[in-house]
C-alpha cells in the first residue's frame, strides 16, 4: 500500500511527472522564469547574483549602510564590502558620508543605474499587475489568498529569513 506522499508524488501514465495540479506546475514554472529574468537583468547590468540582490535592496530602500546591506543579504560585512566595491567599480553605486553618523558611510544607488534597472523592471511589474484586470474582484481575492498561503508556506519551510527587513 502506498503512503499519501508516494501517491501524491507518483507518476501519471508513466510520464514521470508528479501528480500535482496545473496551478502548482505553473507556480514552479513562474519561479524558474523569474530566476531567468533576474539572471538576464544581472547580465545586462554586468553584476553577479549577490550584487544584483544588493542593488535591489538599495533601489527599494534607498541608501543603506554596509552593515545593514550585509544583514539584508545574509552575508558577512567583509563580503558586503567586496560586493559594494564591485558595484562602485562598475558605477552602480557610490559611497557617501552618513549624515547621521560622521564615521559611517551610506551606499547610494547611482541614478543612471536606477533608471536602467527600472526601465527593465517596471514594464514587467506593470504587465504582471495588469493581468489581474482579466479577473473579477472576487477572483482577484481568491488569487491573492492563494498566493498569500503559498508565500506563508514557503516562509514556514525557509524559517527565519536572514534578509528580513
Point out the residues of the chain with pLDDT beneath 70.
1-18, 160-165
Residue 93 has a CB neighbour count (10 Å cut-off) of 27
4-37: pLDDT as tens digits: 555 555 555 455 666 789 999 999 999 999 999 9
- CA angle, 10 then 14 then 17, to 5°: 55
Q: What is the pTM of this model?
A: 0.74
Contact yes or no for 105/95 (Cβ under 8 A): yes
Contact yes or no for 87/55 (Cβ under 8 A): yes
User: Rounded distance, CA 117 to CA 45, Å?
Assistant: 8
User: Rounded distance, CA 122 to CA 116, Å?
Assistant: 10
Amino acid at each position: 500500500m502506498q503512503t499519501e506522499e508516494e501517491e501524491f508524488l507518483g507518476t501519471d501514465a508513466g510520464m514521470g511527472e508528479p501528480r500535482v495540479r496545473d496551478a502548482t506546475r505553473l507556480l514552479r514554472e513562474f519561479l524558474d522564469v523569474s530566476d531567468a529574468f533576474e539572471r538576464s537583468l544581472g547580465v545586462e547590468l554586468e553584476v553577479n547574483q549577490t550584487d544584483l540582490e544588493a542593488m535591489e535592496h538599495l533601489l527599494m530602500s534607498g541608501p543603506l549602510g554596509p552593515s545593514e546591506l550585509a544583514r539584508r543579504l545574509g552575508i558577512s560585512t567583509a563580503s558586503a564590502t567586496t560586493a559594494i566595491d564591485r558595484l562602485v567599480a562598475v558605477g552602480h553605486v557610490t559611497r557617501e558620508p552618513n549624515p547621521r553618523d560622521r564615521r559611517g558611510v551610506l551606499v547610494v544607488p547611482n541614478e543612471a543605474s536606477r533608471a536602467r534597472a527600472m526601465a527593465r523592471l517596471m514594464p514587467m511589474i506593470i504587465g504582471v499587475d495588469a493581468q489581474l484586470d482579466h479577473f473579477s474582484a472576487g477572483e482577484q481575492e481568491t488569487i491573492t489568498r492563494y498566493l498569500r498561503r503559498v508565500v506563508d508556506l514557503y516562509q514556514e519551510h525557509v524559517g527565519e529569513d536572514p534578509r528580513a527587513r
